[in-house]
Amino acid sequence: MPFYENAEQLKDVFTRFWERAQEQKDVMDKIAKSKVVVRFDITQPDLQITIDFKNPKPGESPGRLSFESDVEPELVVWSTSETTNKFWQGKLNVTLAMAKGQVKMQGSIAKALGLLSKIKPLFKIYPEVLREKGLGHMVL
């Protein structure tokens, strides 16, 4: 059973999460230095999320979020929404999840691990957003 009722609910949560993440300027600046495009292919429900740190637009915060992007990603991560929920709360052992096939990745593992260390401060925001959206039952 997926944690999210539908793709719109997941999109709503992730949009708000990313708005809040953008407020963490020091974290965003560190991630922006990676100049990477990451796409998350989420199932149950199906949603594709692309975060582009490679092609900033003038006056725009780093890390443009898109649900329909034609930008070619350097990293692609596949998982269910349940696994995604665990990940963004910092409750997922990524190495173990990859070994179990719960997370699949295409692209540079070294780059992915470098990003992982930079995004950890964002893990505290995701449960706050779940509660804000009336989804406190999803907080782990």
User: Is 137 inside a domain boundary?
Assistant: no
User: Is 139 inside a domain boundary?
Assistant: no
Q: What is the pTM of this model?
A: 0.92
In this predicted structure, what is the pLDDT of residue 1?
Answer: 46
Question: CB count, 10 Å around CB of 134?
Answer: 8
User: Is 22 inside a domain boundary?
Assistant: yes
Average pLDDT over residues 8-22: 97
User: Is 1 inside a domain boundary?
Assistant: no
Q: Give me the residues paired with residue 80 across strands.
A: 43
| Structural domains in the chain (count) | 1
In this predicted structure, what is the pLDDT of residue 56?
Answer: 82
CA 126 to chain centre: 10
User: Is 106 inside a domain boundary?
Assistant: yes
Structural domain span for residue 38: 7-132
The CATH number given to whatever domain includes residue 78 is 3.30.1050.10
User: Is 59 inside a domain boundary?
Assistant: yes
Q: Tens of pLDDT along 50-78?
A: 999 998 888 888 899 999 999 999 999 99
Question: CB count, 10 Å around CB of 1?
Answer: 4
Query: What secondary structure does DSSP assign to 87-138, as a single string?
Result: HHTT---HHHHHHTTSSEEES-HHHHHHHHHHHGGGGGHHHHHHHHTT-GGG
User: Is 116 inside a domain boundary?
Assistant: yes
User: Is 109 inside a domain boundary?
Assistant: yes
| From 11-20, 26-35, 46-55, 57-66, the region with the lowest mean pLDDT | 57-66
Average pLDDT over residues 75-94: 96
Return all residues near 63 (Cβ < 8 A) that are at least 6 apart.
18, 21, 22, 28, 31, 32, 51, 52, 53
